[in-house]
A and B are shown apart, each in its own frame.
Chain A
Amino acid sequence: MVSINYSAREVCCKIVYYGPGLSGKTTNLQYIHSKVPQDTRGKLISLATEADRTLYFDFLPINIGTINDFQAKFQLYTVPGQVYYNATRKLVLRGVDGVVFVADSQPDKMDENLESLANLEENLVEYGYNPDELPMVIQYNKCDLPGVMSSDELNAKLNQKGRPFFHGSATLGNGVFDTLKLIIKLVLEKAKATGKGEGAARPAAQAAPAPPAPSVEKPYPETAPAAATAPAPEQQAAAVAEAPVVDQPAEVAVESQPLAATAEPESQPLAATAEPESQPAATTAEPEPREELSREAAYRPYPGSEKASTERKAPALGRSQAEELPAEALGRNIGAGTSDRQEQQSTVASTPQMAPSLRRRGENKKRGFFKRLFGIK
């Protein structure tokens, strides 16, 4: 089922490339990955053996952009083709919205094609799908090789149900995008057909920016669906009109815009608590998000993300601010009467303070060196 996530503003479809071993499923994904603009695609993840044979699956997320305020995302998976990998192959089919069957057009591969197609239908039936109703496109791959079978011959054996098909050559890229475009169209058609209302067609009056994580920011009333449902358009319009966009609680703003939001709330208390230890009572009334952010900001950033280089600035900024305020954080923890364990930890963490200059220098090089030296967790 196409997943509609109202909280993250996403419509997400799962498309699986199925077919016998060495028919070119992974090559299809690699070609798409190499040709699609960088902002459209995510990272191609390949769980393959040493010899580059798919072991579990390949995964390529593509995002065709924002439509009606919703991100249209497609997750492309391949399966391992070899017969003996059926256990993992079946797992990948779970929750599939559309299948591309990549067949090898060479005459001596016909038996493998037939076996794989039968296996696909069998696995779909086991998951409770009707193979005839599921959107499916057939790609007769390797048509650039000499001695391949003709359309009629291939259709007679592999396409008795009259499914749409393309001839392709995944290494050259012929037919790869045609196949992908058609399967996406079919999946969307199918999703449309199952839909009874105007699911994702919201008026584009969304005030808050839509970062992927927070879900609290939406102006829906309680009766409106969050993850996958469809209120009538009039209702939606009303909901948006009623939406107290201006009254959004500060907490929400802090959550959704970490970089911008930390700067302000952090800077004020900094000035206010010049002598933090002497006034722990004043800090007890601090709102919680600040503590969460400073805690969050101190974490080691994740590697690997393509966006990391730009987004990593946010935690870095937060970290320096967080480290300048340890005593205050201590005061708040005690004042707020949190659990004993937390109290103890924060005391341990902030008692042996380093001189500010040392701390600042340490930030650039080995952060945590002194902590390690003194055995502070």
Chain B
Amino acid sequence: MSDDSLIIYEAEITKIDNLLKKMLKGAEAKCALLVDKDGHLITRQGFTHSLDTTALAALLAGSFASTKEIAKLVGEPEFSVLFHQGKKDHIHMSIVGERSILAVIFDDRTTIGMVRLYAKETAQELSRIFQEILDRHEPSPGISNEFADMAQDKLDDIFQD
């Protein structure tokens, strides 16, 4: 496979979650999502109970990917910050390290400046964590035989014409 897999340990996820919580509190934002550029959700914090985070993660990653191509066309390697303004809710996206995106959803009880400030700080700290993770160069573990076999058994039950 092409990409090195990212292996994040329990302690690091906790550290990341704490950073996100701190940022949400400071910036008074609604929620924060950390998304892989492939479209997988790494972690999320804040008010996300009724949010379709799977679709959101895929779309955010897609949005970032297309913006990157736009950037290339105008001679930039990539745009590191993206901001979508809505009537009530807004999304601020910033790049974290090489392969992750930090998306913060916020509403009118805070300001874009605050979110930007906290997101920038957090992104820097997060990229330090990700750099440490990447420096370890661990091989990917894959999934177990048992898991694969059980999943295959389930397929026939679910996918019936």
**B55 and A42 within 8 A (CB):** yes
In chain A, what residue has the closest Cβ to B8? A227
A32 shortest CB reach to chain B, Å: 8
Complex contact B148–A65 (CB within 8 A): no
A228 interface neighbour in B6, B44, B88, B107, Cβ under 8 Å:
B6
The reply to whether the CB of B132 lies closer than 8 angstroms to some CB of chain A is no
Bound CA–CA A56/B59 (angstroms): 10
Given A129-B2, A216-B14, A222-B11, CB of A196 within 8 Å of CB of B52: no
| Number of A-B residue pairs having CB atoms within 8 Å of each other in the complex | 250
Docked complex Cα distance between A40 and B127 (Å)? 35
Using C-beta atoms within 8 Å of the partner chain, give the interface range for chain A.
Answer: 35 or more
List residues of chain A with CB within 8 A of the CB of B158.
36-37, 40, 64-65
A-side contacts of B155, CB under 8 Å: 64, 181, 184-185
For chain B, the count of residues having a C-beta within 8 Å of the partner chain is 71
**B31-61 interface code vs A (CB 8 A; 1 in, 0 out):** 0000011111111111111111111001100
- CB pair A225–B3 under 8 Å, yes or no, is no
Query: Which of chain A's residues have a CB closer than 8 A to the CB of B66?
Result: 56, 88, 91
Given contacts A192-B143, A296-B46, contact A305 B159 (CB under 8 A): no
**Chain B residue with minimal CB distance to A193?**
B142
**Cα(A195)–Cα(B17), bound, Å:** 27
In the complex the two chains form, is A57's CB within 8 Å of B62's CB?
A: yes
Chain A hits for B55, CB < 8 A? 42-43, 45, 59, 61
Q: Is the CB of B10 within 8 A of A224?
A: yes
Q: A191-B143, A196-B139 are in contact. Are A129 and B1 (CB under 8 A)?
A: yes
Q: Contact at B13–A199, with CB atoms within 8 Å? A: no
**Chain B residues, Cβ within 8 Å of A295:** 28
- Complex A-B, nearest 6 residue pairs according to Cβ-Cβ distance, in ascending order: A195-B142, A95-B38, A230-B141, A128-B2, A201-B144, A227-B8
**With A36-B158, A173-B161 already in contact, 17 other A-B pairs whose C-beta atoms are closer than 8 Å:** A1-B140, A3-B5, A4-B141, A5-B41, A7-B13, A8-B43, A11-B147, A56-B62, A65-B154, A68-B146, A95-B37, A95-B39, A188-B151, A195-B144, A223-B9, A228-B141, A315-B47
Could you name 27 residue pairs across A and B whose Cβ atoms are closer than 8 Å?
A5-B41, A8-B43, A11-B147, A42-B54, A45-B59, A61-B58, A64-B154, A67-B154, A94-B65, A128-B3, A129-B1, A181-B156, A184-B151, A184-B155, A191-B148, A192-B144, A196-B141, A196-B142, A220-B10, A229-B138, A230-B141, A258-B49, A292-B21, A296-B47, A311-B49, A312-B50, A315-B50
